[in-house]
Amino acid sequence: MTRVGIAAICVGLLAVAGCGSDERGGEGLSDRLVDFSKQPPYVNSLERDPESGEFLLTTNRGFFRIDPETEEARRQRGTISADGESSTIGTFLELKYAQAGGLIGSGHPDQRTLPQYLGFIRSADDGRTWQVVSRLGTADLHKIIEKHGRLYAWDAVLSALLISDDGGRTFEEHFTPRGLIIDFEVDPGDPSRVVAATDDQLFRSEDDGEGWRPLLAAEGVRLAWPEADRLYRADKDGTIYRSASGGDSWETVGTVDGEPYKIEPVSGDELYIALSDGTIAHTSDGGAGWEYVFRP
């Protein structure tokens, strides 16, 4: 069997079990927004509404809008339609704000009326309704990045980095190192330079993902690359690192109290991090100090 075939079978089994890999449970953590009885990923997306300042958090319990002033978490209900069928959507949903407006994303339908892989999807009304743009039934995009006039995404079905130059209507495929990619980032100064993390290893490509070399062994790495000389790495134990060299060398800058899952950069020094139970932390000094702005 080919590598692609094996990857598709493995990812299909992971999706049934919760679209993730084995990790420790959530002992001592809040289960208000996250179901720790299921397999990870527990948190899929963290975005900040540019108008209201609300956080958009998607987890294995659903899609929530969080008011940072009141700490109220409201469930966002959504539906997706394709080929004359529809389903609710929210659990295991990957999303982000598009540069042109609206939300873009990927994920799985809540009902089996649609294929289990929704491909690349878009919403023009803050996630209430969604439409399929491409790859319905064939792609499960675990992260989507807009940089350099392109879309980058990691497809768990193919185990490939997908790159689009036409807004997600078509993609080119570039295969990644073996294993589930839990996060990746693109150099703001070089569209061909990509860093990707598996559960225990960090890799870099200099040619759009055609070739990869290992950078270091590290567990549960989450990434953000807001400026060319500021690549951030958050390890599973909560230690925050920064690299000015694209990952060749690192300096420790701080720690957070918990397991990081998603990093949302505002600038080179300002970041938000969602921890495994949905706690959201904020730094304005490049990761040295952290304030917990939401606790579930």
Tens of pLDDT, residues 173-213? 999 999 999 999 999 999 999 999 999 999 999 999 999 99
Mean pLDDT across 246-270: 98
Q: Which residue has the tokens 């400026």?
A: 227
73-75 and 55-59: which strand pairing?
unpaired
| Domains and their CATH numbers in the chain | 3-294 (2.120.10.30)
Return the C-alpha torsion angle 15, 18, 20, 22, nearest 10. -130
The yes-or-no verdict on residue 74 having pLDDT over 80 is yes
Query: What are residue 80's DSSP bridge partners?
Result: 87, 130
**pLDDT tops 80 at residue 16:** no
- CA–CA distance, 17 with 236 (Å, rounded to integer): 22
pTM of the predicted protein model = 0.90
pLDDT in tens, 80-107: 999 999 999 998 899 999 999 999 999 9
